[in-house]
Amino acid sequence: MKLRYSVRKAGILLAAILAVSLYGCSSGQTASTDPAPAASDSASASSNNTQEPASGDQEPEAASNESQSGSGTYTIGDVCTTDRFQVKLTDGGYKDRIEDGQYYYYEASSGNTFLILVFDIENISNDAQTIQTVSDFSIYVDGYQVEQTSFGYSNLAVTINGTSYNPLSSDIINPQVILQPGRKALGYLAVEIPNTWSKCEVEFDGATFVCTS
């Protein structure tokens, strides 16, 4: 009886020791478990920010009206650059009568006037360029196409705002201008229009020059 009691007591004591040991192990594991490390500031910024492209990778901005295409609308004083030319509508004015001061003169019909448009054109290409001053210019008045006025006299100068100008082409048989690279031409085109006109448009080499009454 005494021995059996001792064994039972020892067994109870051993069981108690094992239970305490297991509890200690379990508590130690729970206490030593740390939360996952937070991302660093630099890593967080890198993951949240989208990388901006280098300046060389940026998409080009859309071209302006004064690009090489020459497309666009211009008025007196504007300069247009095309693939071949740099063009400026320098001046404009009206004349009811155009004369050379000696023998030749032209008068507009009753109710009409001559619209004088002065162009300054430079050949910016590497080759000689020919400008057909009649066919290369299309003129519209209030939406209707009109023909240029030919005075039939090559040296018929007109004065606009105090400056005298000759026709853009001095050839009355084949009105054209031949420009070598870097060379310029300055002269006027004329069109007879009603006094009641509102808007004139001149198309040349992809550009449109506009003037209003």
Query: What DSSP string runs through 92-139?
Result: EEEESEEE-SSS-EEEPPTTEEEEEEEEEEEE-SSS-EEEETTTSEEE
Contact status, residue 207 vs residue 86, Cβ threshold 8 Å: no
Backbone angles phi, psi at 103, to 5 degrees: -120, -30
Q: What CATH number was assigned to the domain covering residues 72-212?
A: 2.60.40.1240
pTM for the whole structure: 0.65
Give yes or no for residue 211 having a pLDDT over 80. yes
Amino acid letter for position 129: Q
Give yes or no for residue 38 having a pLDDT over 90. no
The alpha carbon torsion through 92, 95, 100, 105 (nearest 10 deg) reads 140
pLDDT for the residue 39: 40
What residues does 81 pair with on adjacent strands? 86
Give yes or no for residue 198 having a pLDDT over 50. yes
C-alpha span between 80 and 73 (Å, rounded) = 9
Give the H/E segment covering residue 26. Answer: helix 2-32
Backbone angles phi, psi at 197, to 5 degrees: -65, 155
Backbone angles phi, psi at 52, to 5 degrees: -75, 140
Domain ranges of the chain: 72-212
Q: What is the pLDDT of residues 123-158, one digit of tens each?
A: 999 999 999 999 999 999 999 999 998 887 656 889
pLDDT for the residue 145: 96
Identify the top-confidence range among 15-19, 69-73, 96-100.
96-100
Taking residues 112-124, report their average pLDDT: 97
pLDDT for the residue 17: 44
- The residues near 115 (Cβ < 8 Å, ≥ 6 apart) are 92, 93, 94, 190, 191, 192, 193, 197, 200, 211
What average pLDDT does the chain have? Answer: 75
